[in-house]
Structures are given as structure tokens and as C-alpha cells.
């Protein structure tokens, strides 16, 4: 997909002709954990006997049950269209005493819910999952703006960035969760609607700020995988020096 393409439009292209409902994973779950879960699910949900799964459903609450066995149990529960299986996973999530596999249980809970909705509503469900999650119809992004000259951003420049950012986010029905300045960097955590082309939004932000001083690099970092530490940001900039000239 082109970096400037509207994510929502890309989804519609991918599922063209299907009556689908888009769901966003709201929890912030490490992408590696998500990958492990879906790979595990793909490899372990064959030849499952729903009756046996329900019969042994409470095994996930056993403290002495090995972690791998619990993972397998969650995958099995999530793979059958059963209210009882769904409620069992929900009970695990709501019990603070069982927090050793919260991310895994969350993914199983969502998979189970979507499976039930697909059956009850007779419509296909689409799940968008990223490391940073989202809220409602919005995805969470971590963005880094970079000073053009590598010099610490001044008070006035910070004020310009805040003002233009608030204006653009409000205009696009987006939300600012956090903004932080560190020397020549500005990090932004925001929730952006699926229908908004993310690259275009931040290109516009940089363009508008630069009309008042040309102080931002025209390239920026945008990710929905994880929140980067300042040291990680600087390492990425260092390894892509040519890109950020």
C-alpha cells in the first residue's frame, strides 16, 4: 500500500464485495505477542472437539497448568462459536489473580467475540490490530518531528507546532494524547481516524509550521507499532542520515 493511501480505502479494496464491519484492537499489545498468538492459533485449532473444549474450559484457571497448555486452551476456546467459551475467557480477564497471560487472553477474547458476532449478525468481521492499538474508529500513532538544523526547538517553534497540531487534529476529528519536546525532537501520540491519510496529515503539519520559519525537517517518523524511546528515535535517525537531510 502506498504510504499516502487512505487506510480505510485500502481496507475497502482488500475486502471489496464483502459486507464487512471494521473492528480496531484497542489494547496496546506487543506486535510480537500478536504474531505469536495468530501463528499459534493457525497451527493449533485443527481437529478441535467443541464439547471437549467446554468440558475442560476451567483448566485455564489452574495455577499449576503450564503456560503453553494455557495458551493452547485459550486458542481452543476462542476458536469455537460458544457463549460459554466467551464468558470463560471474559472471567479470566476480569480476575486480577490471573494476570500471567493477560495479552494472550485479550486476543482470545476479541477473537471469540468477533466469531460470535459474525455468526449472530451474519456479517463478516474485520479486525485491525497494531502494536499501539486504537479507540473506536481511530488508530493510535507515534510520530516524531525533527528540527531541520538539528538545533533544539525554541519556545516560539514549540508554540507553533502545538498550535498547528491542535488545529489539524481537530479539523480531522483526531485526538492528541501526548506531546513531548526533547531538544531537536517533538514526539506526538495521537488517535487518527481510519479515513484520514496519516502521511498527508503530518506532511501538512510540517508544511504549515515551516511557513513560519522553515525549521522542521520535511521527513518525520510515523509508527503504530510501538512508542519509541528518545534514544531509539535518535538511533533510527542516525541509521537513516541521508533520509533525514
Q: What does the pLDDT look like over 53-80, one tens digit per residue?
A: 999 999 999 888 898 999 999 999 999 9
Q: Which residues of 29-57 are buried (b: 16+ CB within 10 A; e: fewer)?
A: beeeebeebeebbeeeeeeeeeeebbeeb
Domain of 71 in residue numbering reads as 30-128
152 shares its domain with 89: no
The reply to whether 22 falls in a domain is: no
Beta bridge partners of 222: 143
User: Where residue 1 falls among pLDDT bands split at 50, 70, 90?
Assistant: very low
pLDDT given for residue 10 in this prediction: 63
Q: Quote the number of domains for the chain.
A: 2
pLDDT given for residue 4 in this prediction: 47
Read off the pTM: 0.77
- Tens-digit pLDDT profile for residues 143-189: 999 999 889 999 999 999 999 999 999 999 999 999 999 999 999 99
Least confident window among 21-30, 85-94, 99-108, 110-119: 21-30
105 shares its domain with 194: no
The reply to whether 205 falls in a domain is: yes
Amino acid at each position: 500500500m502506498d504510504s499516502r493511501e487512505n487506510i480505510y480505502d485500502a481496507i475497502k479494496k482488500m475486502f471489496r464485495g464483502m459486507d464487512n464491519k471494521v473492528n480496531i484492537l484497542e489494547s496496546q499489545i506487543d506486535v510480537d505477542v500478536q504474531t505469536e498468538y495468530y501463528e499459534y492459533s493457525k497451527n493449533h485449532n485443527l481437529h478441535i472437539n467443541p464439547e471437549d473444549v467446554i468440558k475442560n474450559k476451567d483448566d485455564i484457571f489452574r495455577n499449576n497448568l503450564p503456560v503453553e497448555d494455557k495458551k493452547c486452551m485459550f486458542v481452543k476456546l476462542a476458536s469455537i462459536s460458544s457463549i460459554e467459551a466467551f464468558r470463560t475467557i471474559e472471567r479470566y480477564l476480569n480476575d486480577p489473580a490471573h494476570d500471567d497471560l493477560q495479552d494472550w487472553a485479550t486476543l482470545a477474547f476479541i477473537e471469540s467475540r468477533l466469531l460470535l458476532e459474525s455468526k449472530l449478525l451474519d456479517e463478516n468481521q474485520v479486525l485491525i490490530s497494531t502494536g499501539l492499538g486504537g479507540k473506536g474508529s481511530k488508530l493510535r500513532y507515534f510520530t516524531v518531528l525533527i528540527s531541520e538544523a538539528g538545533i533544539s526547538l525554541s519556545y516560539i517553534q514549540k508554540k507553533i507546532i502545538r498550535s498547528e497540531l491542535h488545529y489539524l487534529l481537530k479539523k480531522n476529528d483526531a485526538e492528541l494524547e501526548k506531546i513531548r519536546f526533547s531538544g531537536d525532537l517533538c514526539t506526538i501520540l495521537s488517535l487518527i481516524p481510519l479515513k484520514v491519510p496519516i502521511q498527508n496529515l503530518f506532511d501538512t503539519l510540517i508544511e504549515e509550521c515551516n511557513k513560519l520559519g522553515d525549521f522542521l525537517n520535511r521527513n518525520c517518523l510515523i509508527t503504530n507499532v510501538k512508542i519509541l524511546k528518545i534514544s531509539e528515535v535518535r538511533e533510527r535517525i542516525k541509521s537513516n542520515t541521508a533520509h533525514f537531510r
